[in-house]
Amino acid sequence: GVEIRLASRPQGWPTHDNFEVAEAPVPQPESGQLLVRNKVMSVDPYMRGRMSAAKSYVAPFEVGKPLDGGAVGEVVVSASEKFEAGQLVLHSLGWREYALVDESQATTVSDEAPPNAYLSVLGMPGLTAYVGLMDKAEFQEGDTVFVSGAAGAVGSLVGQLAKLNGAKRVIGSAGSAEKVRHLTEDLGFDAAFNYKDGPVAEQLREAAPDGIDVYFDNVGGDHLEAAIGAMNDFGRIAACGAISQYNVTEAQPGPRNMFQFVTKRLSMRGFIVNDNGHRKRDFFEHVAPLVREGKLHYEETTVDGLRNAPEAFLGVLRGDNTGKMIVNVR
């Protein structure tokens, strides 16, 4: 089967040269293992961090070895009593056609939603949006919420969940006119702007004349500084990501207005979704009905073919995607 390996570690922006498409023998499952043929896989911004050797909350990818990440596939051979051939399972060995998955690392997915949904709205990005908004930013009915990366997998769900739970006003930023249109016309955001059109602070002030109570940060940099400036007293920030910084080669200066944390009594909490497994049940009970009733929209951008997974990943960093970027493995 085909697999995608890390060929070298990027300096700054990754390129196709950092990846190698290789052929590997199809493994045979031993007791307690499953042979899974992947159908769909996820490419995510956090994978940029794993391409570097620097110590972080997940181990780096290894040069010469296949990358990994969320995927849904069909069990082809089961050497486990818990699974049978033909079942669809969610697991973490994407970037390859055939995966040898330990039974403890696989979960069955129901056919009530398409497999891709378990990589987006009903999966990791969905839980990230839910936990970040509800727990970390302590969202309250009547809040005005600003989310950056708003047309992406996590951001688009944050804005909609805020709206569905009684936000007073929801504002999003994204990187193209079409994405801005999508936010206000398709997803129900009250206002949106293209951060490439001018200074974020000015555009945010116009979009939120009465200030914001919650900022869900996917971007960092000037977005974060602008949000601090627009915060109302006792405002809360969920620090989810800082994609504007992932490909920089030199550390950037932080927000220049940190004293506003004192004067406005602000708080900011960073989090990693993996620490929040205990919230999965509540998340599912909240979000699954909204999806079923068509109240929560989840857009996807799909790329066909495992060989094009590196291109799909580079596309996420560039902003090619609206909603979740998904690779159809086959």
- Within the chain, strands assigned E span 2-6, 19-23, 33-42, 71-78, 88-91, 98-102, 107-108, 144-147, 169-174, 191-194, 212-217, 231-239, 267-270, 300-304, 324-328
175 binds ligand NDP (CB under 6 A): yes
Residues 155-174 that bind ligand NDP (CB under 6 A): 155, 174
Task: Name which of 303 and 316 has its Cβ closer to ligand NDP.
Answer: 316
> How many angstroms separate the first and last alpha carbons of the chain?
12
| Tokens at 166, concatenated | 């009684």
Task: Name which of 5 and 179 has its Cβ closer to ligand NDP.
Answer: 179
44 binds ligand NDP (CB under 6 A): yes
Name the segment binding ligand NDP (CB under 6 A); options: 30-38, 78-86, 88-96, 175-183.
Answer: 175-183
Is residue 9 within 8 Å of residue 63, measured between CB atoms? Answer: yes
Residues 270-289 that bind ligand NDP (CB under 6 A): 271-273
Position among 14, 123, 126, 149 found at the interface with ligand NDP (CB under 6 A): 149
Measured distance CA(244)–CA(239) in Å, rounded: 13
Instruction: Kindly list the distances between the CA atom of residue 296 and the CA atoms of 49, 141, 160, 164, in Å, as whole numbers in the listed order.
Output: 30, 18, 7, 8
117 binds ligand NDP (CB under 6 A): no
203 binds ligand NDP (CB under 6 A): no
26 binds ligand NDP (CB under 6 A): no
Measured distance CA(212)–CA(167) in Å, rounded: 11
Task: Name which of 48 and 96 has its Cβ closer to ligand NDP.
Answer: 48
How many other CB atoms are there within 10 angstroms of residue 79's CB atom? Answer: 15
Task: Name which of 98 and 146 has its Cβ closer to ligand NDP.
Answer: 146
Residue (of 66, 83, 87, 92) closest to 31 by Cα position: 83
Position among 176, 260, 267, 302 found at the interface with ligand NDP (CB under 6 A): 176
Please give the residue ranges that form the binding site for ligand NDP (CB under 6 A).
44-46, 125, 128, 149, 151-155, 174-176, 179, 195, 218-219, 240-241, 243-244, 271-273, 316-317, 319, 321, 324
